[in-house]
C-alpha cells in the first residue's frame, strides 16, 4: 500500500521512514499474534519476567486499564483484515473506510457512522471492510478472515463476560469509562455492527455523564471518600465517549457535559509555561477551585510526563469533536513544552520533567501517548489550515505545523523502539521502561500494556490501517 502522509497529516514523512513503518508493522503483527495465543480472553496489565501472569478479570475487573487489551485486539482485527491478501485493497492515500450501515440497525437507530481508519476521508463513500460484515446478522464475526477473527473473538468475550458486568457495580466504576468502553464496546459496534455492544457503551457513557459536578463543571475522578472534588488530566481522554454518545443518540447532554469539563480542565490544568497539573481540586458543594495536589509525579507543582501526554492527545481530540480553537491552542502549547523536555533525554520521557537528576526514572508510556497525540495534532493542524508559511507569516497562536508534529512523533517512536522495546514474540509485553508513579519504586521501569496500545496505534496510523477508536 502506498500511503500519502501529507494527504492525511498535512506533513511528509522523512526519507526512509516508510521502510521503518512497514518493518515495524510486521513485527507488531508477529508480537501480538504470539501474545494473543498465550493471553486470549484474559486481561493483562503488567508483564513479569516476560509473562502476563495476572488476569485483571479476576484480580480487579473494574481497573481502568482493562480496555487496552481489547483495544489492541480490535486494532489488530482491522489491521490484519487490511493486510490480508483477501481483503479489498486500500486507496492510494492509505484510506480504510468502514462505514457502518448495520443493515436493519441503521433503520432502528436512524443513523450510521463511519469507523475512521487512519487517513479516512469522511466524504469517501467506499467501505473497505464491508465484505467482512454479515448484513443479515449484525455483529457476526463469521465473515472475518481467520487472521482477524482470532483477534476479534477474545475482544468480544472480554466485553461480554467481564467489562459489562462491572457496570452493575457502581463502586467499581469511575472517570475512566471512556478508556474502557471506547476501546471495547464502541469499537465492536463500529467495526462489526454488534447492537449489544452499542447498548453497553451507551450505558457506560450515561454513567460517566452521571459523575459530572454541575457546581464545579467537572467530572469527578475516583471514588474514595475525600476526593469528591477531584478531577484529573487523564479525564480528557475519556471525553470522546460522551461526544460519541451525543452523536449516537442525538442527545446534546453528553457533549455539553464533555465541553464544560474540557473548559474547566483548560482553565485549571494547563499552566502558563505549557506544563500541566495532574490533579485539580474543587469544593464539591460550591465548585470553587481549591488547589492542585500532588499526583503520580514527583510532587505538587511538578510535571508528570504522562499527564502532559494525556493533555496533548486529549485536547487535540476535544478540538476534533468541537472545532473549538482554544483546545487546539492548548494541545499545541503542551506539545511544544513536552517536546522541549523530551529532547533532553533523546526522545524517551523522564517520569517527571521536574524530578531530581538522580535517580533517572523514565516513563516510556508518556513518549508513546505523546507521539500518538502528535499525529492527531498534525491532522488537526491540517484541518485548521496551519502550514509552515501560515505560522511564519501570520504569527499563529499555535506556532506549530503538521511537519513539526510528524517529525517529533517519529523522533519519540524511534526512541521507544531503540531503547524500550522487547520484540521477542516468546515474551509478553512490548514497551519496557514504563513507570506507574514516581513514589512507587516497585513499579518503575516495567512493561505495561497500555504503552503497547499507544505505540501500536501510532504505528498503524502511519501505516494507514489504524482504526480511529477515539471518534
| SS3 of 220-269 | CCCCCCCCCCEEEHHHHHHHHHHHHHHHHHCCHHHHHHHHHHHHHHHHHC
Does the pTM surpass 0.85? The reply is: yes
- The CB-side HSE value for 337 (13 A sphere, CA atoms) comes to 25
pLDDT of residue 118: 64
Asked if 185 and 201 touch (Cβ cutoff 8 Å), the reply is yes
Instruction: Give the per-residue SS3 of 60-106.
Output: CCCCHHHHHHHHHHHHHHHHHHHHCCCCCCCCCCCCEEEEECCCHHH
Count of positions (residues) in the chain: 471
3-state secondary structure of 117: strand
Q: How buried is 356 (Cβ within 10 angstroms: 0-12 exposed, 13-18 middle, 19+ buried)?
A: exposed
pLDDT of residue 71: 99
Q: Domain for residue 37, yes or no?
A: yes
| Residue ranges at the known binding site for substrate | 176, 234, 306, 310
Q: Are strands 218-219 and 212-213 parallel, antiparallel or unpaired?
A: antiparallel
Catalytic residues: 176, 234
User: CA-CA distance, 9 to 94, in Å (whole number)?
Assistant: 12
Domain enclosing residue 343, as ranges:
5-463
Q: Domain for residue 469, yes or no?
A: no
Residue 354 vs residues 141, 300, 439, 455: alpha-carbon distances, Å: 48, 11, 14, 24
Query: Which CATH number fits the domain that encloses residue 129?
Result: 1.50.10.10
Q: Domain for residue 470, yes or no?
A: no
Q: How buried is 418 (Cβ within 10 angstroms: 0-12 exposed, 13-18 middle, 19+ buried)?
A: exposed
Q: Domain for residue 49, yes or no?
A: yes
Provide the residue-wise pLDDT of the chain in tens; the chain has 471 residues: 445 676 778 788 878 899 999 999 999 999 999 999 999 999 999 999 999 999 999 999 999 999 999 999 999 999 999 998 444 333 323 333 333 333 332 222 223 355 666 655 555 656 667 777 888 999 999 999 999 999 999 999 999 999 999 999 888 899 999 999 999 999 999 999 999 999 999 999 999 999 999 999 999 999 999 999 999 999 999 999 999 999 999 999 999 999 999 999 999 999 999 999 999 999 999 999 999 999 999 999 999 999 999 999 999 999 999 999 999 999 999 999 999 999 999 999 999 999 999 999 999 999 999 999 999 999 999 999 865 455 545 455 558 999 999 999 999 999 999 999 999 999 999 999 999 999 999 999 999 999 999 999 999 999 999 999 999
Q: Domain for residue 229, yes or no?
A: yes
pLDDT of residue 134: 84
Q: Domain for residue 121, yes or no?
A: yes
Give the Cβ contact number of residue 343 at 10 Å: 12
pLDDT of residue 14: 79
State in Å, rounded, how far the first CA of the chain is from the last one. 24
Q: Domain for residue 468, yes or no?
A: no
Those residues whose C-beta lies under 8 Å from the C-beta of residue 283, and which sit 6 or more positions away, are 216, 229, 290
User: CA-CA distance, 136 to 141, in Å (whole number)?
Assistant: 12
Asked if 387 and 11 touch (Cβ cutoff 8 Å), the reply is no
Q: Domain for residue 471, yes or no?
A: no
User: CA-CA distance, 412 to 372, in Å (whole number)?
Assistant: 10
Total of domains in the chain? 1
Amino acid at each position: 500500500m502506498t500511503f500519502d502522509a501529507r494527504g492525511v497529516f498535512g506533513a511528509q514523512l522523512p526519507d526512509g521512514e516508510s521502510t521503518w513503518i512497514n518493518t515495524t508493522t510486521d513485527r507488531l503483527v508477529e508480537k501480538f499474534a504470539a501474545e494473543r495465543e498465550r493471553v486470549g480472553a484474559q486481561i493483562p496489565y503488567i508483564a513479569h519476567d516476560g509473562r502476563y501472569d495476572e488476569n485483571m478479570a479476576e484480580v480487579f475487573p473494574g481497573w481502568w486499564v482493562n480496555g487496552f487489551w481489547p483495544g489492541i485486539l480490535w486494532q489488530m482485527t482491522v489491521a490484519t483484515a487490511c493486510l490480508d491478501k483477501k481483503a479489498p485493497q486500500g486507496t492510494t492515500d492509505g484510506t480504510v473506510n468502514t462505514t457502518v450501515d448495520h443493515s436493519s440497525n441503521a433503520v432502528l437507530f436512524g443513523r450510521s457512522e463511519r469507523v475512521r481508519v487512519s487517513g479516512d476521508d469522511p466524504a469517501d463513500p467506499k467501505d473497505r471492510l464491508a465484505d467482512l460484515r454479515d448484513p443479515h446478522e449484525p455483529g457476526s464475526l463469521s465473515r472475518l478472515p481467520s487472521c482477524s477473527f482470532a483477534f476479534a473473538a477474545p475482544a468480544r468475550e472480554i466485553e461480554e463476560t467481564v467489562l459489562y458486568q462491572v457496570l452493575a457495580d457502581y463502586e467499581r466504576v469511575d472517570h475512566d469509562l471512556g478508556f474502557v468502553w471506547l476501546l471495547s464496546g464502541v469499537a465492536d459496534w463500529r467495526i462489526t455492527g454488534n447492537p449489544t455492544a452499542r447498548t453497553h457503551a451507551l450505558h457506560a457513557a450515561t454513567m460517566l455523564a452521571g459523575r459530572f459536578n454541575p457546581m464545579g463543571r467537572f467530572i469527578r475522578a475516583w471514588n474514595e471518600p475525600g476526593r469528591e472534588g477531584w478531577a484529573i488530566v487523564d479525564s480528557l481522554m475519556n471525553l470522546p465517549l460522551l461526544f460519541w454518545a451525543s452523536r449516537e443518540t442525538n442527545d446534546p447532554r453528553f457533549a455539553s457535559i464533555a465541553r464544560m469539563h474540557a473548559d474547566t480542565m483548560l482553565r485549571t490544568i494547563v499552566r502558563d509555561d505549557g506544563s500541566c497539573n495532574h490533579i485539580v481540586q474543587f469544593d464539591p458543594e460550591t465548585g470553587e477551585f481549591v488547589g492542585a495536589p500532588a499526583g503520580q509525579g514527583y510532587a505538587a507543582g511538578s510535571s508528570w510526563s504522562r499527564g502532559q501526554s494525556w493533555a496533548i492527545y486529549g485536547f487535540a481530540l476535544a478540538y476534533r469533536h468541537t472545532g473549538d480553537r482554544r483546545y487546539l491552542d492548548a494541545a499545541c502549547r503542551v506539545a511544544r513544552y513536552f517536546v522541549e523536555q523530551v529532547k533532553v533525554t533523546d526522545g524517551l520521557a523522564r517520569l517527571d520533567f521536574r524530578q531530581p537528576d538522580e535517580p533517572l526514572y523514565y516513563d516510556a508510556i508518556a513518549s508513546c501517548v505523546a507521539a500518538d497525540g502528535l499525529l492527531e495534532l498534525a491532522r488537526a493542524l491540517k484541518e485548521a489550515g496551519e502550514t509552515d508559511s501560515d505560522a511564519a507569516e501570520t504569527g499563529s497562536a499555535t506556532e506549530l505545523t503538521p511537519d513539526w508534529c510528524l517529525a517529533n512523533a517519529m523522533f519519540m517512536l524511534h526512541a521507544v523502539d531503540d531503547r524500550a522495546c522487547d520484540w521477542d514474540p516468546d515474551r509478553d509485553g512490548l514497551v519496557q521502561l514504563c513507570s506507574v508513579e514516581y513514589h512507587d519504586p516497585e513499579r518503575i521501569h516495567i512493561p505495561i500494556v497500555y504503552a503497547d496500545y499507544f505505540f501500536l496505534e501510532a504505528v498503524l496510523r502511519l501505516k494507514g490501517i489504524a482504526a480511529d477508536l477515539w471518534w
